[in-house]
Structure 1
Amino acid sequence: MALIHRATLVPSKLDAIAAWIPSQPWWDGSGADELDAAAAYRFDDPDGEVGIETHLLRTASGTVFQVPLTYRSAPLDGADAYLVATMDHSVLGPRWVYDGVGDPVYVAVTATAIAEGAHQAELVVQSEDGSRSVRESTTQVWGTGGPAPTAPRLSVRRVIDAAPTELPHLIGTWPGQAEPVVLVELRG
């Protein structure tokens, strides 16, 4: 279960990504200010400390980019190169936002989801009064299953395409993408 607070974020997730993405080697040079949030999915940190959310962003030309993020309450030692932004969360306070590929929690949780054939987390929204409700996810992701390597390495497809793979992987669909596509590959 991914607990989502009704909160204000400064900067917003999309603004933080738009400021960071042009400096990435896989970015195609499109206008980052024209990014559209196509979809998102979450996984659970078993320890409940790190938020794990992946954004699928569409450019005006139709290219879909994948940006996995982790949200932490304190800086991650040795991960300065992966820092996307710091943001203020109106409920949780300061958040350090990292590119998931540089966060060991993202890597471990995603590798486990792939190996175990797991699906994205259930989305539970908590209101200011403490009440909770389940939000239906329009994005569906699942692992194909397979042996979990002792030292997992992920290959995140930053630019989403229809290329198949023989490796265990995470696959997904979302509004506008009815045919499942590979999102992340698990390499041993």
Structure 2
Amino acid sequence: MATIHRTTLEPGKLELLAKWLPEQEWFRPGGGELVRAGGFRLDDPAGAVGIELMVVADGRDAYLVPMAYRGAPLEGAPAGALIGVSEHGVLGTRWFYDGAQDPVVREELARLLRGEAVPQMQGESDAVDGSVAVAPVAGWAVPVVRRVLEPAGGPVAGQVVAGYTAPDGSALRAVFVADGRS
């Protein structure tokens, strides 16, 4: 299990995302300042990549941003995959990548969709996040990340749902789906 360090991160995740998100074609500008609104972590069995699925909101919209943190640049990373570089107070330089484009994150999401990985709390070491609902599928699964949150509801087969409450009080969900199941 990953260890959560109580330390500094310069620039912080929200600062990195505030620069990266406006460059994404699916982002709607003009909603205001970003705030952390929820999410969860997954553990890389090899222990080399940090994985966080973060929900950020800007007062109008909420976005699901899967992120990978690495101790070195990702070889062969697609253009636009790098969110930014930050200095971690314990681990040193970290390269943050769009998890939808990172092979380790995609594999762990697939394992989660098959019921083989356990969602972890964002701010606690070795703590299961019981607020994340998983409706696993058997066999092969390719995760698809939907970037904008949807109205609340429970998962159906092949979905992972993390809840979020919008600023207006409505319940929303971050949804990951399996595509190409066999």
* Normalised TM-score (structure 2): 0.84
Are the aligned partners of 2:22 and 2:29 in contact in 1 as well (CA < 8 Å)? Answer: yes
More strand by proportion, 1 or 2? 1
In structure 1, the residue matched to 2:146 is 157
Partner Cα distance (1:83, 1:170) in 2: 25
Whether 1:143 and 2:134 are equivalent positions in the alignment is: yes
Are the aligned partners of 1:71 and 1:95 in contact in 2 as well (CA < 8 Å)? Answer: yes
Structure 1 residues 90-109: aligned runs within 5 Å: 90-109=89-108
Deviation (angstroms), 1:90: 1.0
Are the aligned partners of 1:42 and 1:120 in contact in 2 as well (CA < 8 Å)? Answer: yes
Pair 182,56 (structure 1): closer, same or farther in 2 beyond 3 Å = closer
- Match of 1:34, SS state, is coil
Structure 1 residues 1-188: aligned runs within 5 Å: 1-31=1-31, 34-61=33-60, 63-81=61-79, 82-116=81-115, 118-121=117-120, 125=124, 140-149=131-140, 152-162=141-151, 168-174=158-164, 181-188=173-180
Deviation (angstroms), 1:148: 3.0
Deviation (angstroms), 1:122: 5.0
RMSD over aligned CA atoms reads 2.7
Deviation (angstroms), 1:124: 7.1
- Match of 1:41, SS state, is strand
Pair 135,154 (structure 1): closer, same or farther in 2 beyond 3 Å = closer
Partner Cα distance (1:105, 1:64) in 2: 24
Are the aligned partners of 1:112 and 1:148 in contact in 2 as well (CA < 8 Å)? Answer: no
Provide the aligned length of Structure 1 versus Structure 2.
176
Partner Cα distance (2:63, 2:75) in 1: 27
Please, which runs of 5 or more residues in structure 2 have no aligned partner? none
Partner Cα distance (1:115, 1:160) in 2: 22
* Normalised TM-score (structure 1): 0.81
Pair 110,49 (structure 1): closer, same or farther in 2 beyond 3 Å = same
Partner Cα distance (1:122, 1:182) in 2: 15
Partner Cα distance (1:141, 1:124) in 2: 15
Using the TM superposition, name which of 15-24 and 152-161 deviates more: 152-161
- The AA in structure 2 aligned to 1:145 is P
- Match of 1:40, SS state, is strand
- Match of 2:27, SS state, is coil
